[in-house]
Structure 1
Amino acid sequence: MRPFKVVSSFEPSGDQPQAIERLAEGFLRGDKYQTLKGVTGSGKTFTMAKIIEKVQRPTLIISHNKTLSAQLYREFKSFFPNNAVEYFVSYYDYYQPEAYVPARDLYIEKDASINDEIDRLRLAATYALMERRDVIVVATVSCIYGLGMPDLYKDMRIHLEKGQTLDPGTFGKQLIGLQYERNDAILDRGKFRIRGDVIEVYPAYMETDEAYRIELDWEEIVRIRRFNTISGEIIEELDETVIYPAKHFV
């Protein structure tokens, strides 16, 4: 595990050192509830960042709305550039519940618009929680809704490594079972394509325009690469990787 390390040109000042020390001690002692008072704005974020650095534990930061959570996400990302800072909020841009207006005998059907980037960020958050310990998740109250059992979600992942035997047809069926779609023309988020001995998968949680390329030689994995889907540039050579479902509910 990478240790949590705050990157900042500032040092705690005023009452911050005392607050950081006391809150960290209380956490390590097992105190269930603690309150930080008298600090506002980015000062509170910085104080919390130093506490996380001190206790070295995965952390959930809950905000009451998307606007504030987005601000906190950006601030924590700047304080922890070498750790996994993730964003988990409702992915609806618009949601109209089913309704009936008796006075007008009007039925309004349910309608919704999902933000594709926020959906990716939600999937990236659960991926990070499954694969590493140095994780900070900034969320709204939408995080209280269950996504199922973590162990079951983790068991659905597909593990790939060099030297492994892999049948393209069987692998394609596995990906479809994880809600990926096959598209041999266009490689987009949540899709994959198979071209002879080369399989390309664009995990739904990956950074924009990044995907995996698995190269086979007689059904044996000889190369795994992470590449840019636009330029084709190879970003990283890998010995192994895992692929998680394209959706939370499979």
Structure 2
Amino acid sequence: MPEQQENQTEVFHLKAPFKPTGDQPQAIEALVQGLKAGDKGQTLLGVTGSGKTFTMANIIAQCNRPTLILEPNKTLASQICTEMRGFFPDDAVEYFVSYYDYYQPEAYIPSTDTYIEKDSAINDEIDRLRHSATAALSERRNVIIVASVSCIYSLGDPIDYRSMVISLRPGMQMERDELCRRLVKLQYERNDMNFIRNKFRVHGDIVDIHLAYNDEYAIRVEFFGDEIDRISEFDPLTGERKNIVRHVAIFPASHYIVGPEKMKEGLAKIQTEMEQQVQAFTA
């Protein structure tokens, strides 16, 4: 019985006040059959207002697979994300777009001998939504990621990202300082005064963690000696405890994180290239 209940949470729940009509049922059936047959590509044609988004929502619900929707820009991605959240209010519909509000690449203009320094402004809320999307994709199957095409550039390795997740349960043997060291490796910063996203604070045997992907609650880990005694969720603004949890997975604070082995390998290559360049310039 518990297994059946757990499986139910991984199923898409399409909610709409209307049913497919006109050509939609035939289109849904044909596209679902094509997916089951392993077709590499299919095209759904329809004029504006013909219900293509609703048709796709029905296909997602029937196929029950994690789904990636790519849009040309942030505006269209936001529109589709809002519509999909209306169709799947009980499932994870996430928004994953480039987090730059403004980006000026480094440049040099020879005619005027002008150097333009690289400059950028990162939107913190979009960064949180990106982490929320990654966490949802790692924890469940009923996930729809709505993304812009440009979001895929320069992302880190998903294997490195998942391998560095910290999994905590009450009763685990772990020292408080060891948890702090592991949080720093995930690029969380300790700040006992300004407790905001991507930060953690320490008070005695208690470690509070403000997750990179969640603004609604923070995690409190209470230690008894070298053992995790209790894990709870609390409001980071008021400090009010919400509930006790039996397990929490803490994902990295950056998508560009790498493991120690890959870091060591990269530093060795940089060192080798540096020595080669020094020899070339010296000669």
TM-score, structure 1 normalization: 0.95
Instruction: Tell me which residue corresponds to 1:215.
Output: 222
Could you tell me which of 235, 241, 249 is aligned with 1:242? 249
Contact 2:210–2:219, Cα closer than 8 Å, also in 1? yes
Distance in 2 of aligned mates of 1:110 and 1:6: 45
Could you tell me which of 28, 41, 55 is aligned with 1:20? 28
Secondary structure of the equivalent of 2:51?
helix
Larger radius of gyration: 2
Question: How many residues end up aligned between the 2 structures?
Answer: 249
Secondary structure of the equivalent of 2:42?
coil
Say which is worse superposed, 144-153 or 163-172, in terms of deviation. Answer: 144-153
Query: What does residue range 1-250 of structure 1 map to in structure 2 within 5 Å?
Result: 1=7, 2-41=10-49, 43-145=51-153, 147-206=155-214, 208-250=215-257
TM superposition shift of 1:162: 0.7
TM superposition shift of 1:140: 0.8
Q: What is the identity, as a one-letter code, of the residue corresponding to 1:126?
A: T
Q: What are the Cα deviations for residues 164-216 of structure 1, in whole angstroms up to 9, with x where unaligned?
A: 1221111111111110000112211000011011110011011x241101111
Say which is worse superposed, 93-102 or 36-45, in terms of deviation. Answer: 36-45
Secondary structure of the equivalent of 2:36?
helix
Q: What is the identity, as a one-letter code, of the residue corresponding to 2:251?
A: Y
Distance in 1 of aligned mates of 2:243 and 2:125: 23
TM-score, structure 2 normalization: 0.84
Higher helix share: 2
Distance in 2 of aligned mates of 1:102 and 1:6: 58
Contact 2:60–2:67, Cα closer than 8 Å, also in 1? yes
**Cα distance, 1:42–1:134 mapped onto 2, change above 3 Å:** farther
Distance in 1 of aligned mates of 2:93 and 2:106: 35
TM superposition shift of 1:10: 1.6
Contact 2:232–2:245, Cα closer than 8 Å, also in 1? yes
Unaligned segments of structure 1, at least 5 residues: none
**Cα distance, 1:17–1:59 mapped onto 2, change above 3 Å:** same
Say which is worse superposed, 32-41 or 171-180, in terms of deviation. Answer: 32-41
Q: Percent identity?
A: 54
Contact 1:209–1:230, Cα closer than 8 Å, also in 2? no
What RMSD, in angstroms, separates the aligned Cα atoms of the two structures?
Answer: 1.4
Q: What are the Cα deviations for residues 216-247 of structure 1, in whole angstroms up to 9, with x where unaligned?
A: 12222121111111122222321111101101
